[in-house]
Amino acid sequence: MTTSTQSYEVDVEDVEYLQHGETPLLARLFRPRGTGPFPIMVELHGGAWVNGNRVDGDAANKALAKNGVIVVALDFRVPPVASYPASLVDINYGIRWCKTQAEVWNGRQASVGVMGTSTGGHQSMLLGMRPNDPRYAALPLPEGAAAVDGTVGCAILVSPLTDPFGRYQYAKGLRQDLTPPDGMAERVPALHEQYWLTEEAMIEGSPARILERGESTALPPMLCVARNYEAAHPRPDLDEFIRQYRKAGGQIDVTLFGDEYEGAGVLKDLSLPIAKEALERMTAFIHQHLR
């Protein structure tokens, strides 16, 4: 079994993993050079569910691959092409596709996790908790492919958005407990509306509310790394998700970085101590849970 103490050379390539009509969806594959078997992490970009693409996390993804982790960064459908749950359909398919490719990549079919930043963190929660939701697992793999499901061995949440409806209310200035920063009301609610279409969908797709409702879910081990205060993500919502996840019996490890990193994205600048520590914790967590 590979360990996180060795540094690997990394090969990077873009491959098509899914096609909608004549439109391909690409995955950026970061593969350590070695015999492995290596754990596999499916990486989901942020961007308020509407913006961003598979290249956003290139630097951090390559750094993880150097630590002996295969990283597969996915493109997926976003508005205006398609709203919720289309992105979850693509990602669930992508997780299953990775399992069918694992041996070819010197990975292991049983060692696949998911990770994401901001709204990618939110999608990681949903995919981890609902691996076999018939809506998300709606696309069949090609005929003859291995019979696999969307279950993941772990999930990593980087500065995650945890409650779509709570953040929507926050951005519109409708919460009593928090005041949003200037300009948020002009920018953010429209992005929620493009992706979710309705407030009911935001509530249905909120992980903490899913747990509070008593929905039966998978509870893979999770790691959350975030700054103590992030203007875009209401802290009470993160605390509530952590509370609900632990109450349901799930394991979630949490690392919160202090005010000395105000304004710095956790993984935006890999030269900063915040990023170095986050990557160390992510690497250790992956190698611990994807054996």
- Which CATH number fits the domain that encloses residue 255? 3.40.50.1820
Cβ(237)–Cβ(166) below 8 Å = yes
Within-domain flag for 3: no
Count of the separate structural domains present in the chain: 1
pLDDT given at position 25: 98
Within-domain flag for 49: yes
Cβ(74)–Cβ(25) below 8 Å = yes
Within-domain flag for 2: no
Within-domain flag for 58: yes
Within-domain flag for 1: no
Within-domain flag for 99: yes
pLDDT tens per residue, range 52-96: 999 999 999 999 999 999 999 999 999 999 999 999 999 999 999
Q: Which structural domain range is residue 60 located in?
A: 10-289
pLDDT given at position 72: 98
Q: Which residues in the chain come in under a pLDDT of 70?
A: 1-5, 261-264
What is the three-state SS of 35-52? CCCEEEEEEECCCCCCCC
Cβ(285)–Cβ(113) below 8 Å = no
Compute CA distances 154 → 37, 81, 124, 176, 187, whole Å.
Answer: 17, 29, 10, 35, 33
Q: Measure the CA–CA gap between 218 and 225, rounded to whole angstroms.
A: 21
Q: Measure the CA–CA gap between 261 and 263, rounded to whole angstroms.
A: 6
**3-state DSSP call for residue 77?**
coil
pTM of the predicted structure, to 2 decimals: 0.95
pLDDT given at position 265: 81
pLDDT given at position 144: 82
pLDDT given at position 1: 39
